[in-house]
Amino acid sequence: MKRHKNYTPGDKVAYSAAFLRSTSQYTGDVPFLRGEIVAVEPLGERQLCTIQWSLDGKPVRMPSQYHDDGLGRVISPNLTLVSRLALDAA
């Protein structure tokens, strides 16, 4: 089984290249979103990360039918650290 990084609050993240390819998001704003993790919850062997997203340095409110705080929730395998973006793109 593939192991995933354990994220901590304060980590700077983006959607992983593999996730973007699997959802055919080659254009638009989503590949350029950057975020900071504000909370992490265990989810089996993975984590559910709560993220404050931004685009070009401006906060982005994520629409949700479950939460009204504007924060995004993403499982850890769909993320990468911003510092690893060039390494994970292959």
Would you say 12 and 75 are in contact if contact means Cβ atoms under 8 Å apart? no
Question: pLDDT of the chain along its 90 residues, tens only?
Answer: 455 678 999 999 999 989 999 999 988 888 999 999 999 999 998 999 999 999 988 988 887 767 778 888 999 999 999 988 776 655
Where are the alpha helices (H) located in 1-90, listed in sequence order? 17-22, 85-88
Q: What pLDDT, on the 0 to 100 scale, is given for residue 1? A: 41
Would you say 80 and 13 are in contact if contact means Cβ atoms under 8 Å apart? yes
The CA distance from 68 to 22, in Å, is 27
